[in-house]
Amino acid sequence: MPIAPLMTVSGSTLVLAAPPAAVRAAGPARAVPAARPPGPYRRLFALPGARAFTAGNLLARLPMGMFGISAVMMIAGQRGSYALAGAVTATGLGATALVAPWTARLIDRHGQARIAVPATLIAALGSLGLIACVRLEAPAWTLFASYAATATTPNIGGMSRARWTHLLRGSPAAQHTAMAFEQAADEFCYMFGPVLAAFLCSALFPEAGTLAGAVLLLGGILLFTSRRATEPPVTAAPRRGSPLRALGPLLLLFLALGLVFGSLEVSSIAYLDAHRLGAGTGLVLALQAAGSCAAGLLYGTLRPRGLGACLAVLTAAMALPAAAAATGSVVLLAPALLLAGMATAPTMVSAMARVQAVTPAGRLNEGMTLAVTAILAGIAAGAATAGAAVDRFGAAPAYLLPAAAALSAAAAGLFIRRAGDGTRVVRTAAVRDRP
């Protein structure tokens, strides 16, 4: 016969209570396992608007790895001159180095959406003009003018980093994760962009890569700037301090890092071409970017290391391709490039963190753009130097150039550290002597 529940009265409420026997039969309650805390990247993209502006950022950033190779394939295919194609792209790179800091300054002063959209529209029209000039067999000077117009392309990575800095102010750990993700995104775009461009130009028509890049750039910027809630506010306070003066020796560091990247790429292309790998050349070269992308994502989950430690690891890692090339083995070179790439992202994240720390308030995008401009200048100089070294000494000895450039970057990092320590001593003394 079932046992009826007991009835008790508490105040004016009638409560049904289970009998003691039923409670004993139920046994002790099971402990509910605690929910697993979300990882750093999951917490990052849980922020309102973060996923949307990141999607637009990636769409707009992907063409950065497409435009160069697309222009070379299009011009060389239609005009039959790689010299002309190389000169046009070099002119565009030089124009970008001059125009990009001014575009970044306007963005910091007037807001991302207000400046980035018209600047991107001008750049997209420059790409479309280049297509028209190539198709219509216009004079060569029109190719230079059209491609130079693309220099107004805003620094998408810098704008995205500025948004993370605004959203995550007061949370250094989350900012570190965000900067690591941005560096990994850079590596992914520069790894996948050329592959996509080469496929479009060869599988469809020579202008397909440039056309797709212009569409992705404009569409991505429109999506990115439409997320106004995450855009850093424009400060009305007077702007004091110059980013160029504040960065100082840091620009020498970024120039040296550019020398590393440019010389390593040309040396690798020449070495692999000498071994006649054919289609395998692209796969081996992609290992460097893949290693940097993976290391960047991993580094974002770890406690950040100092810039000096990252530069020391980079210097050691850049000696590996030179040692592997000296053996004449492509099998050894592939993992050496992978490890060299893995040392790149943590160094760039640490260096960009230093840029954030010293750039005057309200001018972050300009400061980051100056750093990127220094890298581009270093890449151009490194590529030219490595090309001359390959012609004179061969591909294997040319691998000594990125190792030497990494050593110069480490020396620049040591100088920056000592200069920073001196600045702190002066500031401390000033505070101590203040009445």
How confident is the model at residue 195, as a pLDDT? 75
Q: For residue 40, tell me if it sits in a domain.
A: no
338 and 376 assigned to the same domain: yes
Rounded-to-integer distance, Cα 323 and Cα 311, Å: 19
Which amino acid makes up residue 18?
A: A
Q: Which of the listed residues 207, 233, 259 is the one where a domain comes to its end?
A: 233
Q: State CA 53 to chain mean position distance.
A: 15
pLDDT at 121 over 90: yes
Tell me whether residue 8 is in a domain. no
Non-local CB neighbours of 116 within 8 Å, separated by 6+ positions? 107, 154, 159, 221, 224, 225
Mean predicted confidence (pLDDT) in 388-394 = 82
* Residue 407 within any structural domain of the chain: yes
Q: Nearest Cα to 255, choosing from 411, 102, 397, 399?
A: 411
162 confidence band (pLDDT: 50, 70, 90): confident
Question: Does 257 share its domain with 186?
Answer: no
Tell me: the pLDDT tens digits for 82-105? Answer: 677 777 877 787 788 788 888 888
Question: Based on the domain organization, do 215 and 281 belong to the same domain?
Answer: no
- 2 pLDDT more than 70: no
Is residue 206 domain-shared with residue 264, that is, in the same domain?
no
**Same domain flag for 255 and 397:** yes
Q: pLDDT band at residue 183, thresholds of 50, 70 and 90? A: confident
- Clarify whether residues 211 and 319 are in a common domain: no
Are 61 and 156 in contact by the 8 Å Cβ rule? The answer is: yes
Print the domain residue range for 431: 243-435
pLDDT value at residue 251: 85
CA distance 336 to 193: 23
pLDDT band of 236, cuts 50, 70, 90 = low
φ and ψ at residue 6, rounded to 5 degrees:
-80, 150
Residue 123 lies in a domain: yes
Out of 233, 256, 287, a domain closes at 233
- pLDDT tier at 156, thresholds 50, 70, 90: confident
- Given 233, 267, 295, the domain boundary residue is 233
Asked if residue 392 and residue 296 are part of one domain, the reply reads yes
Taking only the tens place, the pLDDT of each residue in 255-305 is 999 888 888 887 887 788 777 766 566 677 778 778 888 888 888 777 777
- The pLDDT of 319-323, averaged and rounded, is 91
Residue 24 lies in a domain: no
2 within domain boundaries: no
Residue 140: give its domain's CATH number: 1.20.1250.20
Answer yes or no: is 39 within a domain.
no
Give, as one character, the DSSP assignment of residue 155: -
Asked whether residue 361 falls in the same domain as residue 419, the answer is yes
252 in the same domain as 221: no
Query: How many separate domains does the chain show?
Result: 2
Measured CA to CA, the distance from residue 76 to residue 22 in angstroms comes to 86
Q: What is the pLDDT of residue 10?
A: 43
Both 168 and 248 in a single domain?
Answer: no
- Claim to verify: residue 320 and residue 432 sit in the same structural domain: yes
Residues 60 and 90 in one domain: yes
SS3 233: coil
pLDDT at position 358, please? 78
> Bigger pLDDT: 27 or 106?
106
- The reply to whether 108 falls in a domain is yes
